[in-house]
Amino acid sequence: MKKKDIILLIISILLIGIMVLMFCLGSNYSYFPLLIGIVIINFILGQEKHILKKIYVIFYTIIFIANLLFSINVIKAPSSPITDYDKRIEIWGDTIPGNSKNLKINDMNVRKNTNKLLSMNRFLTFLYFKNEKNAERVIDTYTYSYEIMSGYAKETYEDVPYLIPYLVENAKDSVIILPGGGFSNKSIEDGGTLEGKNVALELNKRGINAFVLWYRSNPYEFPVPQADLQRAIKYLKYHKNDFNIDENRIGIIGFSAGGYVVSSYINIFMGQDISFLVSSDYSFDDIDLMDDSVYSAALIYPELSFKNNYSIMYSCFSSDKVNDEENRNNLIDKYDTIKHIRSSVPKAYIAYGDKDDIVGTDNINEFISKANEINMNLTVKVCKNQKHAFDTDCYIASYLDFLED
């Protein structure tokens, strides 16, 4: 191979690598490195005929057209329905606190010409690297393109939270499952089952009822998700005879962001009328009169505090609240489940990977240490060599044993 060909090959590999990286980062301009490649090759080769010239032009044309179609949403990433969506049970009555006919887009910082696939790449990059630059825009664009445009949530603040039941006969316990999603969507959307149906079926195998909760998230503000969880608990207790369940044996389990909702619920909000905190003019019904306590609570690779990653707060609060440093610090303090940990909570379980690359392990270890100090009834499962969102097999046996103790 000639020296010139080797140089051209190295340049090609570098430019294609940059192109792939830009696409993974969600850039609408991932074709640009190929354009640079065309210029470089023509400069080096001049009038000389070379196969690389044709390859670059063909690749550039394909990638450019693909990017153009993505940017104007001609090409869309396919969306799958939520598993067993047809079985859903709506948990609120005629009035839902926090809802209105207002358009969500008016409260969101959404990128123009957004696309589900590209916005998802940007969001995942944001989660891994915790880049604070344009955090609000990345989060809102992802929520809008992935959850709202795909039809899992509405364009207006008129979403109706629901439970998807997985029932067995003569069940001793019942567990409400809260999937994660970075407070920006729910992982059960697009047909996901890792933090929903998979867990429910494992619980069913041990004679335990399971209910997967679809709760409201971005651009709804806290404590709306916690209000949905409280309502789900009270709903099951109110309808205990319909589901043939023991109201004193209801547990909750949350994953990642759902884990935070569970932790904040048992440590900060349980015992309060959260619906009233969301909307002071909410009219209570008979379900709201039910006790909101739970028998057990489980946190799986949970977020527990915003103090090490305040940029994710744009998923939970308005930008005005997050951008103001004093107000932001007050919110971090108010919603820090480590600081507000309570020994009076129900028996608890936590499972995490020692190589978690999303929420990390510092907050989790601090939570465990604080729990030990106050004699909290906490069972800990460390999943060795596991990152975030590990498989059900890593913890399910331990969790099931915890439930039966």
* Among the listed residues 303, 284, 287, the one whose alpha carbon sits nearest the alpha carbon of residue 360: 303
> What is the percent of the chain with per-residue pLDDT over 70, rounded to a whole number?
81
189's CB contacts (< 8 A; 6+ apart) are 82, 146, 147, 150, 152, 181
Confirm if 382 and 354 have CB atoms less than 8 A apart.
yes
C-alpha span between 1 and 4 (Å, rounded): 8
In angstroms, the Cα distances linking 345 to 176, 374, 376 are: 17, 11, 8
C-alpha span between 143 and 108 (Å, rounded): 9
> What is the percent of the chain with per-residue pLDDT over 90, rounded to a whole number?
72
- 99-110 pLDDT, tens per residue? 999 999 999 999
> Cα 209 vs. chain centroid, distance in angstroms?
24
- 110-135 pLDDT, tens per residue? 987 677 777 777 787 778 776 667 89
pLDDT band at 34 (very low <50, low <70, confident <90, very high): low
When mean pLDDT is compared over 71-85, 125-139, 210-224, the highest value belongs to: 210-224
Global confidence as pTM: 0.86
Q: Give residue 210's identity as a one-letter amino acid code.
A: A
Confirm if 355 and 387 have CB atoms less than 8 A apart.
yes
- 286-340 pLDDT, tens per residue? 999 999 999 999 999 999 999 988 999 999 999 999 999 999 999 999 999 999 9
Q: Work out the number of other CB atoms within 10 angstroms of the CB of residue 107.
A: 15
Confirm if 199 and 392 have CB atoms less than 8 A apart.
yes
C-alpha span between 245 and 251 (Å, rounded): 12
